Amino acid sequence: MTPASSHHQVVIIGGGTAGITVAARLRRAGLRDIAVLEPSETHWYQPLWTLVGGGQAPLRAALRTEAEVMPPGVRWLRESAASVDPAARTVGTASGRTISYDRLVLAPGLSLDWDGIPGLAQALGHGGVSSNYRPDLAPLTWDFIRRTKRGTALFTMPSGPVKCGGAPQKIAYLAADYWRKRGVLGRIRTILVLPEPAMFKVPVFNRALEETARRYGIEVRLQSELTQVDGAAREAEIVDHATGEKETVHYDLLHAVPPQRAPQWVADSPLADPASPFGYAKADRATLQNPDFPEVYAIGDVANLPTSKTGAAIRKQAPVVAANLRAGLRGRPATARYDGYTSCPLVTARHKMLLAEFDYDLEPAPSIPFIDTTKERTDMWFLKRYGLPQLYFKGMLKGLA
């Protein structure tokens, strides 16, 4: 028996940061027929996972139930999207249901490809191998950091767009600062492997991070990437893309970030951007509408936009999507514009942080007056640990910030 189909004025695929924020804004604007397609019973504030891995926050501080964050009056459809037909304006679910819509907000996030690095999936969770990109592993990262007294610590980032591009570096600095305070940093060789030609795309922040790495004695391998893990031997293969040379590094601790891409059903759909080798969704960089299917809006990690995939970017994207979607329902043109703003809180020590804010043009876009966030500051660390989670749960997810 085929599950029943249904229709909603607005269907939002994904009940994470982007989906809930847009749903809350639309409800506050008076829309009544909104459905959010989200299978998970839990909702994570993912930016806190780095501090969990660094021993600076408990995992429970990042967790809410999905029911707690779902805006009142929004229908929660507790299943996964499996396909989308934008020509027919329908979404197919994993259970076989068909849901039709007047407007669609595409906010399913991205997929972590743990198998994209041979041997990584098998090595995770033991033998010194962890990743803050999974909530169950973030506390283990801290356990491994505390146990490491000597040897080699390896921190890696994959090529291609990843969520929170600073996170692969931040855990290296938190670990190194902990080891410095414990008096063992000099006995630990710390290697940071980054695929880009610079540590950060914005020059002022790149210079600050270069100085941070020098301070801790971290070996930074640019244009390089982790390509294979042998968990039993505790060996990692690193490739230098500039020279093609391969090196096998014996590690005592490995914090690895997996390759990332759009969910496969997005990549296989007409909504995927042919310009993205990772299957991310096509979207106008200003209006966030799909140019081929203007009833569809892409927001957050799934959107193929030339900006970093962060919660701060979503905070600026959500009002644009909500405004343009409402305009479309009234038969009016999309006039709201997103300028590419994103923010990356760069934790450089156990109580120090830079706040990197910039736009599509990689120009600094500071939002806090009278404070130089290009310098390491203790107050910025407290903002990340305590202020931003409150802004997230009590502001963004309520459609207020």
Active site residues: 164, 344
Q: How far apart are the first and last CA of the chain?
A: 44
Count the Cβ atoms, other than its own, within 10 Å of residue 194. Answer: 23
Residue tagged 């855990």 (tokens)? 171
The token pair at 164 is: 């929170």
Count the Cβ atoms, other than its own, within 10 Å of residue 333. Answer: 9
- Bridge partners (DSSP) of residue 246 are 239
User: Using CA atoms, how far apart are residues 121 and 113, in angstroms rounded to an integer?
Assistant: 9
Whether 206 contacts 197, CB under 8 Å: no
- Dihedral of alpha carbons 42, 48, 50, 53, sign: negative
Whether 166 contacts 132, CB under 8 Å: no
Listed in sequence order, the DSSP H helices in 183-298 are 203-216, 264-267
Q: What would you report as the CA-atom Rg of the chain, rounded to the nearest whole angstrom?
A: 21
Distances (CA, A) of 382 to 57, 74, 213, 345: 12, 33, 22, 11
User: Using CA atoms, how far apart are residues 381 and 64, in angstroms rounded to an integer?
Assistant: 22
Query: Three-state DSSP class for 153?
Result: strand
Count the Cβ atoms, other than its own, within 10 Å of residue 179. Answer: 22
